Chains A and B, each alone.
Chain A
Amino acid sequence: MQRGNLLISTVLWAVVALFIVYPLSFLLVESLKNAETQQYGLQNYIDFFKDPYYLKTFVNTLVLSLLVLLTTTLFGLPLAYMISRYRLKGKVIFTALILLPIVLPAYAGAFSLIILFGKMGVINLLLMDLGLVAKPINFLYGVHGLVFVQSIHLLPFIVLSLSAGFTNIDPSLEEASEVEGASGIKRFFTITLPLATPNYLAGAVLVFLWPFTDWLTPLIFGQTDYLPSISYINIAYHFTDMHRKYMGIVSVVVSAVICVSIFLLSKAWVERKKYTSLSKGTTLEGRIIYPPILIQIGSYLYMLFIAVLVLLIPVVLGLSAFSRRWVLQPFPTYWTLENFKLIFIETPGLLKNSLLFSGTALLFGIAFGLPAAYLITRTHTTGKEALDFIITLMLAFPGIALGVSYLLAFWEGIPLATHWIIMPLSLFVRRLPYFLRMAHASYLQLDISLEEAAEVSGASKLYTFFTISLPLLLKGLFVGVVMFFIMAFQEISTAIFLYRGGWETLPIGIYLNWHRGMEFGIAGAMAFFMIVIIFVLLLIVAKIGGGILGAAWGSSGGRY
């Protein structure tokens, strides 16, 4: 048994060493290099901490992260409760809907919002036409705009993880407090919410670390002084000033290490308390309430409100995809299919690549994520925390850094980058945390006594895994698979640096068409197509997965 764990551990560490540590070591070594003397030392790191500007941008980004986390929590909390507790219609479609904004590369979403909320956007033009305002209102260009767009993108992480948490709470606990006379609100804050804390944390880390890699949205909204933007500018735009390049890497390393440490510390703090309950008697859906009619109407209205918000981006994309010259007028006036005609020839190839790369990455993700989750939750192998740390680090590492390091590591020497397999490999590494966090949580959801019972009865470890663990995990893994696939499908920052001719994916196609005249509609048509594809895929998944779509992601019944 110990030998088996050791074998898994060795294989996983070999993969991590080859595909994460080895390529990133190229960057780490550079970050220690003095650009003038070509010697190695900690000078760059000292420079970083001495320069108040980096500190300022770090604090700005931290504040942004917290604001986004706060906003998504405030809006996501009631939503998650409604989805998991109330008997409501259309939950599955709704859950698929709120995932749509994250399907697109960030700049496509941000640009759609500019069309809608910009100074000469739809809303401002309408307001001015109606004579309600004389000068356009600044909806977007500021911290408020950043919080708005990032919250729309990140809402599903909070909602899905929280609703999974709520679903897994033993109904008898809430019922007991009800019998004791606790009001609904008191019950929620003393029983329901505390018990879901570990699940919330799983979603929160994805939200919290996102602003540290999203360099483009602040720049699109004209906001200076954010750390990822500065890191990106340092890494990508300096081709002779090596010191600046190294400083870019330094800022990435420092912020990633600090943020992931914050996460792991808060995780440890949460895990000091016990969240397990003795009974295992939850149904698949958990506790379900038939809400009073007023609350039911209120819930539907609230869901409608959120649905309208998340549908803004797809609707704008749809309108621009079928029109031309939609500018300085509230709605398009010139309708055409020309945009689709223009992208028609190249799109099938891009779609093929996207599916191939994300599909292969998903296979890697499952093959790696499941044993990794097993190792972290079920064994006491040394170094499992380090494994968790390194993989979680990927959440805070900007895509370009990974892209550059992959090309440095795998072009010469181990020439993987000449083969298309590098694309799914890099997607796998970059998006691995999304699957691992979920697989990890699903594993914790599974009571170990079931596996032990099988083993006591004489089943081998492997046999137990395939007959007991996997079938029970399967439903829980489902949404993680969806999440991973979407995040791999929409990845661009790493892919754009690694692609060779013929390997273009849909997001790269959107990016290239962006630089095609002033017609947003051409790129818009491709983005719209991408959203439709993903939406259809999600509905198929929902059809197969049924109600568990909303219930199982990022969850745990017991400890985090």
Chain B
Amino acid sequence: MRKRICFLSLVFLFMVLTSEVFSQQEKLGWVGPVYKELSDSLMKGFKEYYKRTYNKEIAITFIRPGGWPVCVDKVRAWKGKPDADVFLGAGAPAFEVMDKEGLLIPYRPKDWDKIPSRWGGMKVKDERFIWTCFSPWIVTNLYNERVLKALQLPPPKTWNDLLNPIYRGYIVQTLPYASGTQHEVIEITLQSMGEKEGWAYQRYLAAQLERFSTGSVDTTHMVSRGEVPIGIAQPQMNAMSARADGYPVRDLLPDKTILVPESVGLLKGAPNEGNAKIFLDWLFSVEGQRYVLEGRYFPARTDIKFSEMEKQGVAMAKHAREALGVDSFWDLKVNFIEYDLNLATKRWDEVNRYYEYEIYRKWRELKSSLALIEEVEGEIATAKRRGTNVARAESRIKEARNLFAYDGDYAAARLAATEARQLLVTGR
């Protein structure tokens, strides 16, 4: 066996060494968190285009070491000598962070004008050409229609619907660290409800959860499989993708949401800067955008209609039209919030840390505290029906709720609830 391995290793060594000697061809490297369908589709499309236009082969590499924070870390570790040319994927905050650290250089792709500057209060591209959106999507939620039907539950339409006790234990989400989308959901509630109400909302939502997932794709898998029927914080195209594969899931456009501009940027020190620019030009051309759609992402150009793409034989165009219910992404009618990108970028870590320390780490305590409060509330209601004077107990349990929701002081909330219960028993 060892001899065999030795021999095989030597053969492979030879193969690898020789292949590297002869690899003096055109190259291009991507790093980023996009799904494999997209990288495969773009790779196929751009190789064809390159061959057609320059009559040369191009070798493309795609590195996806993990979610986008890990991708950013990878770029950092390269210390200005990146092993890729283009950062492919992730929303604006990732690019803002990399820009601040001087990891990106500006480039204005040829059809830059075809991408809207702003939409629904959100930046869709950077005026300094640091990043440009190649595929927009909206932060949505996801549900499994077959499982919800079996449970005889209606789909939750709004953020507040999700707090309805009927959904308790049927919701999954991930940590805001693990997914930019999940982070945006928290930012949406904070910015649309105000910080105080927003955090209170997140506490109540956490009590509804069945579990935390490892990332937004894990959430999609869980919902598609029916393990948990409702998933929070989903990139909009995941529902389209899952439906195209035959899974009984649908996305929910919540009452308050934002746009995420999935973007590209050029890395500083890119070893194949010329090819990277050719790629960026191509990515924003109608042809490039067609491959974006075939890679199960929505195209960003304003002049692209799904119906026309469908006529050209793009299979995903039909699914996109069905999933969105409109002929172009930009025709969507969405309730966007006023989104402050600067504020969001500035407090990114702070929000994540608060969520982890005050909600994730105390998740069990949070749930048991709310359960106690609800129990005592039930007892108070029963006592009230029997004609007992519950005024003091009622005011105390209200305090307990405030302590729970607004102060996040779960121990004090439980104490207040217990006091309310005592007030009930002592009959005053």
Contacts and interface: CB of A to CB of B under 8 A. Distances in A.
A359 B29 contact: no
Contact of A518 (B97, B224, B364): B224
Contacts of A241: 349, 352-353
A500 B67 contact: no
B119 interface: no
A344 interface: no
Q: How large is the interface on B (under 10, 10 to 19, 20 to 34, 35 or more residues)?
A: 35 or more
Interface in B17-55: 29, 35-37
Interface string A232-272: 01001111110010000000000000000000000000000
B225 interface: yes
Contact of B12 (A233, A356, A362, A496): A356
Contacts of B74: 407, 497
Interface residues of A, number: 63
B233 to A, nearest CB: 15
A518 B210 contact: no
B65 A497 contact: yes
Given A222-B211, A514-B217, A496 B177 contact: no
A535 B12 CA distance: 22
B13 A407 contact: no
B65 A240 contact: no
Contacts of B65: 496-497, 499
A216 interface: yes
Contact of A114 (B81, B147, B225, B246): B225
A413 to B, nearest CB: 10
A215 to B, nearest CB: 9
Contact of B69 (A222, A239, A478, A518): A239
A328 B150 CA distance: 11
B225 A118 contact: yes
Contacts of A216: 214
Given A141-B211, A352-B12, A481 B35 contact: no
A222 B36 CA distance: 25
Contacts, number: 171
Main secondary structure of the interface of A (DSSP, over half): helix
Given A222-B212, A236-B73, A516-B37, A499 B63 contact: yes
A501 B61 contact: yes
Nearest to B31: A501
Contacts of A240: 97, 348-349
B5 A359 contact: yes
A236 B16 contact: no
B305 interface: no
A515 B79 CA distance: 28
Given A236-B66, A237-B67, A356-B13, A540 B1 contact: yes
A355 B4 CA distance: 11
Interface stretch (B196-204, B237-245, B393-401): B237-245
A371 B78 CA distance: 35
A319 interface: no
A412 B83 CA distance: 12
B361 interface: yes
B164 interface: no
A404 interface: yes
Nearest to B13: A356
Contacts of B77: 404, 407-408, 411
6 contacts: A219-B213, A224-B360, A327-B226, A501-B29, A501-B62, A515-B217
Given A241-B352, A518-B245, 12 more contacts: A53-B361, A119-B228, A225-B361, A236-B69, A237-B352, A355-B8, A497-B66, A497-B70, A513-B36, A517-B37, A518-B224, A545-B1
Q: Which 8 A-B pairs have the closest CB atoms?
A: A501-B61, A222-B211, A237-B177, A120-B226, A241-B349, A516-B36, A356-B12, A359-B9
